[in-house]
Amino acid sequence: MIRDVGVGQLVEELEQRGGRLPFEIGAFVALEACEGLMHESVKLEPDDVRVTLEGSVLVSDSAKSAEPAEAARSLVSVLARLLVAAGPGVPPYLLQLVQDSAAGQTPRGLRDLHDAIEASLIPINRGASRRVLARLVRESDRPPAPAVSQVDAHELDAELDELLRDPAIRTLEPEQAQLPLQEPEEEEPITEQIRIPRGAREDSGAAADTGAAGDTGLKSFPPPVADHQPETVPVPPSEPALRGGSVPVPDLGAPAAAAVARQPRPVGEPITATIRKWQAEEEEDPAPAPASMSVPVSATVSVGDPREQLETPTESVFGTGSVAASESIPTPELLPRQSRPAVPPDQPYDRPSLPQQPPKRRGGWGIWLLAAGLGLGAYALHATGRLDSLLKPATPAPAVGGAINVSVTPPGAQIFVFVGRGPAIAKDLPVDAAHEFIVFDQGLRPSRAIVQKGAAWAATEAGPLYELAVQAQPAEPSVGSSELGVPQTEAVAIGEGPTGTVRVITNPPAAKVYRFVGVGPSAHIPVPSIHEGQELIVYHPGYETRRAVVGPSDWERVAGEDIHTATLAVQLPALPALVVAETPED
């Protein structure tokens, strides 16, 4: 596995995989490369900036030595390459920094570039940035993403047209086109067996009158009896419906029919016949049958015991006894029905004595007049401006300001006033003067930052604004955290000339920000509000650092004037190591 990779190669491989380099990571790489150039001035190429597996940024030893100005220009070119890899979303001030440096309008040294890039990254997290770089280096060994195959739009249109075409005229595949067309299979009829009655009851009266001239062959049948026998196995359609042993039914009207019917016959097995049914007849509603339906039956009828009961519903249709060649079965329409008395429908109860009232018409003039009045009233309020005055929030009462008169001992002690935790805002500061701030907190080494006199302030709606970025360093064990250093500016009298606002951005966030007020023995500090507590720090290298607080109860109003003042006296005790021992008396 590779130990490190150049920034140019890393960006190129990232673009091949379709990824982008965050602009924060690119600016961080440029920042650490700038810190390396401040130790040794060389001319950088993109691959001269190396990133290790741990995410550390190093300057290659093979880079050629160059002047600081040329090294700064090469660093700007590397930063431009990194910002191009970031794509859209790069902050405008970074782009402006690259454009100005490339055009040579505002040439910057390495220190100025370092401060500008560092201010753009506040708050900065070096550990997280190195972890991201380490992940990018590890992913650089992966192969690029496979190219997505491009599909021809004309082929898609042709396939879609083929799918939307009528199936009857759709083009068949070559394999399907060679197959012969199959003829539609004929639908086989559905067969079902019915059971022929096993025996017939002989009617003695009917046997005597079989030869009479007025006999029509119609008989009354007993009610059907439930069939408790299982259905027989259906006969295949190819087999004949009736076996060869069946005997045609004799004509009951002939003279010899009675003799044939009276001859005893042995009781045999029931004979079944096949009746074909078509599926279409089952699906459709049955048509009403005529009053008398003739059912021809061609089967052998066995005459058994006249007392034997019918066993199946099919037997109940044919009844018992001798069956003629053609028997008429009455339909349900001929059966007698029980007549029910017709109940006349309820007649509506009419009251002719109550006249029908006409609908009452409602008018809407009242609603229209009310809406018109409200509209005119709202227009009058808007035209006169009273509506805006009613909706405008009440203006808060202006805060009462004051001044703190501080006297310190020893006279050369430095005085600082607390501004807030970063990002902190210091208001009402003169624009044409220099301002000095100090940032420190628990575990941080005090860091000073200065707004130079004549610096460019940004014009905003609230007035001139200057943004100051401060990077606080961790405290070292060998150096005391209470050493605030020496002042680099002179005290400024507040209240003279145009004023603006300074916004101090700290890294790490929420670090304490103090403004340098001046050097003792006394100082006059204006404050915007006496209702807020004011914190001051008094520092001298040879004495203990003291912190003092001025609360709302410490203010006093000057007699005869609308001014509030607070008086504060701070005396710093000397450090124990610097106390000179007195000479003991003899």
Domains and CATH numbers, the chain: 4-139 (1.10.510.10), 402-473+484-578 (no CATH)
Whole-number Å distance between alpha carbons of 32 and 75: 11
pLDDT band at 342 (very low <50, low <70, confident <90, very high): low
Rounded CA gap, 327 and 463, in Å?
118
Q: Quote the strand ranges of 272-347, DSSP E.
A: 272-277, 292-296, 326-330
pLDDT band at 326 (very low <50, low <70, confident <90, very high): very low
With the CA atoms of 513, 519, 524 and 530 taken in that order, what torsion angle do they form, in degrees rounded to the nearest 10? 30
Asked if 526 contacts 494 with a C-beta cutoff of 8 angstroms, the reply is yes
In this structure, the strands spanning 190-195 and 272-277 are: antiparallel
Specify the pairing of strand 512-519 against strand 444-445: unpaired
The predicted-structure confidence for 471-493, as pLDDT tens digits, reads as follows 988 887 655 446 888 898 888 77
Is a pLDDT exceeding 80 seen at residue 569?
yes
Alpha carbon distance 212, 209 (integer Å): 5
Burial class (CB in 10 A: 0-12, 13-18, 19+), 570: middle
293-318 core/surface letters (b: 16 or more CB in 10 A; e: else): eeeebebbbbbbeeeeebbbebbbbb
pLDDT in tens, 527-541: 888 888 899 999 998
Say which residue the tokens 């008398």 belong to: 292
Helix axes 68-86, 23-39, angle to 10 degrees: 170
d(CA 314, CA 323): 14
Report strand pairing: 564-571 vs 556-557.
antiparallel
Write down the residue that tokens 């009857």 correspond to.
168
pLDDT tops 60 at residue 203: no
- Is the pLDDT confidence value at 295 over 50? no
Q: Is the dihedral of CA 526, 529, 530, 535 positive or negative?
A: negative
Three-class SS of residue 547? Answer: strand
Residue 379 confidence class, pLDDT cut points 50, 70, 90: confident
- Determine the angle formed by the axes of helices 110-120 and 68-86, rounding to 10 degrees: 30
CA angle 431, 435, 437 (to 5 degrees): 140
pTM above 0.95, yes or no: no
- pLDDT for the residue numbered 514: 95
**Spatial contact of 20 and 146, defined as CB atoms under 8 Å apart:** no
The span from the CA of 151 to the CA of 572, in Å, is 83
User: Looking at residues 16-37, what average pLDDT do you find?
Assistant: 85
The residue ranking higher by pLDDT, 77 or 278, is: 77
Tokens of 203: 């009617």
